[in-house]
Amino acid sequence: MRFERKYRIDNLSMYHIMQIIKSHPASFYKLYPNRTVNNIYFDTPNMTCLNDNLMGINIRKKYRVRWYGDDINTINSPNLEIKYKKNELGGKTIFPVNSFLLSNVKEIQQQVNTIIPHQHTLQPTLLNSYNRSYWGTKDLKFRITIDTDLRFHSLIHSRNFFKYINTDKVVIVELKYEKADEKEIKRITSFLPFRLSKNSKYVNGIMITK
C-alpha cells in the first residue's frame, strides 16, 4: 500500500506549478508522454462509496473502469480497478475487462457485477476524463501526477453521453510513494509549496453534476 498526498490548486498557473516541479532538488523528470485518463465510476443504489468518503470512513472502497486515450466512445483495453483505502494508505486491485461501447454501458455493468459479487448491484454513476502528466525522481521512490482539464458527466441522470458540459478548472497534483519511504518524505514536501487537501474526483464530479 502507498501514500497519496493530494493538492488541489486553484491559485497558481500551470506554468508556475511546472516551474516548481522542474526546479525541485529531487530532480523530478517526465516519466511518460501526457495522456487522457477516462473513468466510469460505479456505486451502490444508496451511494455507499460516495457516503463513506463524505463521512470520512477510514476503511473504504471505490470502483471504476479506466481506459486511456482520446476516444471516449469506443473503449479498448479497459481495466476494472478496485481502489481501497485504510486510513492514509491506499492501493488498488486491477482486473482486465472486455472492450465495449459507451453507448452500451449496461454491458460493462454486467461485467463489473460478475467480477465483484456485491451485496447490492453496482451501477454506473459518473463518467469523467482529464489530462495527466507523469513525473518521478531518479530512484522512482517518489512520483507526481498532474491532472488538468477535468470533465464530468452524470450517468445517474443520463446514460446518453454527447459531450462534456461540466468541468473543474483546478489543477490536481498528487504525490505518491510507498509506506517504506515515508521517512524521506520531508525532503520532498518541503519544496512543494502547495496546501495539502482532501480531494476525490468521484465526489467532486457527483457534486458538480447533481
Separation of alpha carbons 205 and 202, rounded Å: 5
| Residue-wise pLDDT tens digits, 60-107 | 999 999 999 999 999 999 999 999 999 889 999 999 999 999 999 999
User: What CATH number is associated with residue 13?
Assistant: 3.20.100.30
CA-to-CA dists, residue 172 to 64, 115, 129, 131, 182, angstroms: 19, 31, 13, 10, 21
Neighbour-count burial of 69, counting CB atoms closer than 10 A to its CB (0-12 exposed, 13-18 middle, 19+ buried) = middle
| pLDDT digits 0-9 by tens, 123-133 | 999 999 999 99
Distance (Å, whole) CA 145 – CA 174: 5
Q: How high is the pLDDT of residue 28?
A: 98
Q: What share of the chain is helix, strand, coil (3-state, %, to 5)?
A: 25, 45, 35
What is the reported pTM?
A: 0.95
pLDDT at 198 over 90: no
| Residue 126: all three cell numbers together | 459518473
What residue numbers bound the domain in which 73 lies? 2-209
